[in-house]
Structure 1
Amino acid sequence: MSSNNGFMENFFQLKKNKTDVKTEVIAGFTTFMTMAYIIFVNPTILSDAGMPFDGVFIATIMGAVLGTLAMAFLTNYPFALASGMGLNAFFAYSVVIGMGVSWQTALGVILIEGIIFIILSVTPVREMIVNNIPMALKTGISTGIGLFIAFIGFQNAGIAIDDPATLVAIGDVLSGPALIALVGLLVTGVLHAKNVKGALLWGILISTAIGWLNGVTPSFNGVVAMPKFADWSEVLFKFDLRSALDLGMVGVLISFLFVDMFDTAGTLVGVSQQAGYLDENGDLPKASKALLADAIGTTGGALFGTSTVTTYVESASGVAEGGRTGLTGIVVAILFFLSLFFKPLIGIVPSAATAPALIIVGTMMMGNITKLDWDDFTEILPAFVTIAAMPLTYSISNGIALGFIVYPVIKLFTGKGKDVHWLVYILGIVFVFYFLVN
């Protein structure tokens, strides 16, 4: 055991990162629990596009394993990857159903996107974009992601619901999932305030148990089930590259490239700021390696038979538990792989039980807002637009895009244009076109 601990200490540099094996394992469990929903949600969405559920179930897990391991070994960061929410909906509903493109062709587009990102990641291009995001926007992005995560938590709990008149309204908080989430939020909040190790994970487990009292948590339907690997063959390597290279798919490719690039950049910056990885210049060390890991995940995901694999904002929950190295990601990857065999057990954790963890992580990430220069309105306005747009438009990319448009314009017309990096001006123009074509 000591030799194993010695290996992990040397490889993951646990002491240097002020962590230990126990903390990393708890962080890994917490991250996995907050993002395990993708194992079931992604196949459900992609099956609407005609893809076989059981095949995508396995592809989703294998894509998450590949991407997370690549991130762990290339960067030693505690970031987990899986098929991206929003990107999978765009894949299924906009491209396949809306445009009438076959899912095999759409997978081909994802494969091309991943290859392009691999090329860009081994050149300075993507890293230069990430590291030249102004500090005000980096803070706005991390804060906005926190608010977005919390909003997702409120939605998953049924506390925030649709309303045709006001868009959102409060649900029935005294029954069903909302009640479980509120009780779980109070329990988790107390545990976290008392610095209980693994507070978020304990909160998820306790909320799941409480859910049995009012029927929110489903009853056991077995624990172990062998995965149907034969079903995986229905989506494995089924991409249609020839059709994906058709000129008519250029617009789809560009859309995937933009959304994935800036979703990933925003998540990396936001969670990295939360973890304290950004250096004195606000840059992310090993950004190119992190982006390469993301690109490997996307490429592998397309080969396996799933939509774009990207870095998950839920990684912030593991960071909040003290996860600081790739060992957290190794634990997440192992748990994803094991979930192949524990499909019935994992399926009983309701989204209402993970909602409190998301809300508390959002609370902690909101603390980054204090890093803004509140005496400089040219810094505050772009940051606020970025923060507000993410939950209000339900898109990390939209928040980043609007921030990049507002930032250079307000700087330019207030005589501070020289303080803005030339790349920010170019990205501002690019994002204007991004909105025009969408």
Structure 2
Amino acid sequence: CGFGVGDMAMPSVPTQFISTSFDTSLFGAFASGFGQIFSNIPDLILILFSLLFVTFFDTTGTLIPLANQCGFVDEKGEADGIDRAFLGDAISGIIGAILGTSTLTAYVESATGIGLGGRTGLTAIVTGILFLVSLIFAPTVLALFTSSVTAAALVIVGILMMVQLKEVDWDDMVVVSSVFMTIIMMLLTYSISLGIAFGFVTYAITSIAAGKAKELNWLVWVMVLVFVIYLFFGL
């Protein structure tokens, strides 16, 4: 819906405003591979572990900062209602797979709405309805909103997420080094889960160097082992 000017594409007035040509070719496509995948159980376990790992830590790394921004995190660092949020995220992932859409999960872009005051379930309902309505206007009218338009919203998201760093104990080098590695690897790998993985490993190494290894819970060491296997053995 645009014309070229040099190497840049400029948006033009859409030729039609409503589209009903929905792509349903991937509906139910998830079931087509069951026969092959169950014939190789080791590959099945590997795939399930990889998907669980990425989804769980991507969601955790998103929900905790968002809950903190909403004021739902108490002094112990526990988020009120986080179990329901995980349940909703899991059910959405299943429904998305059945319908053949991209992954349905929690996104950090929600920080924009939270910053503007949307902190209840009604916000999610209204957003969902607007996305549903937008289907009939895609890709004709919505093509006018290029990356130059959406970039401003992403900058605001980054600012709102960076505000959470004020809660970091900047006098503790173990914590600071882990936070730094988490942030920098999220940026370099473009993955929340990989950033958390590098942060966990850094936390364990710096704790050993600082003589604080005995203070760590055994679950931390289990997670570190899982992250090491994931990072260095290609799981």
Give the TM-score range, shorter chain: 0.7 to 0.9
Q: Alignment length, in residue pairs?
A: 224
User: What is residue 19 of structure 2 aligned with on the other side?
Assistant: 225
Three-state SS of the structure 2 residue aligned to 1:341 is helix
User: What is residue 408 of structure 1 aligned with on the other side?
Assistant: 204
User: What is residue 322 of structure 1 aligned with on the other side?
Assistant: 117
By how many angstroms is 1:307 displaced? 4.2
Aligned amino acid, residue 242 of structure 1: G
Output one character per residue of 1:216-247: Cα deviation in whole Å (capped at 9) or x when no partner.
Answer: 4332232112244xx52x32223222223332
Q: Check whether the contact 1:227–1:340 (CA below 8 A) recurs between aligned residues.
A: no
Of 429, 432, 435, 2:225 maps to: 429
Q: CA 1:403–1:433 in 2, change beyond 3 Å: closer, same or farther?
A: same
Measure the CA separation in 2 of the matches of 1:227 and 1:325.
34
User: What is residue 195 of structure 1 aligned with on the other side?
Assistant: none
1:237 matches 2:28: yes
Measure the CA separation in 1 of the matches of 2:118 and 2:217.
33
Of 249, 254, 276, 2:49 maps to: 254
Structure-to-structure mapping, 1:301-320, within 5 angstroms: 301-320=96-115
Aligned amino acid, residue 256 of structure 1: L
Aligned amino acid, residue 133 of structure 2: L
Aligned amino acid, residue 223 of structure 1: F
User: What is residue 264 of structure 1 aligned with on the other side?
Assistant: 59
1:289 matches 2:84: yes
Q: Check whether the contact 1:266–1:400 (CA below 8 A) recurs between aligned residues.
A: yes
By how many angstroms is 1:435 displaced? 1.1
By how many angstroms is 1:421 displaced? 2.7
Aligned amino acid, residue 70 of structure 2: A
Three-state SS of the structure 2 residue aligned to 1:375 is coil
Aligned amino acid, residue 209 of structure 2: F
Give the superposed CA RMSD: 2.1
Of 74, 77, 91, 1:279 maps to: 74
User: What is residue 213 of structure 2 aligned with on the other side?
Assistant: 417
Of 170, 179, 185, 1:383 maps to: 179
Percent of aligned positions that are identical:
40
Measure the CA separation in 1 of the matches of 2:209 and 2:11.
55
By how many angstroms is 1:399 displaced? 0.7
Q: Check whether the contact 1:224–1:341 (CA below 8 A) recurs between aligned residues.
A: yes
Q: Which has the higher contact order (CA 8 A, sep 6+)?
A: 1
Q: Which runs of 5+ in 1 are unaligned?
A: 1-175, 178-214
Runs of 4+ aligned structure 1 residues displaced above 6 Å come to none
Measure the CA separation in 2 of the matches of 1:331 and 1:274.
20
Aligned amino acid, residue 184 of structure 2: A
Measure the CA separation in 2 of the matches of 1:337 and 1:307.
15
Three-state SS of the structure 1 residue aligned to 2:105 is strand
Aligned amino acid, residue 317 of structure 1: T
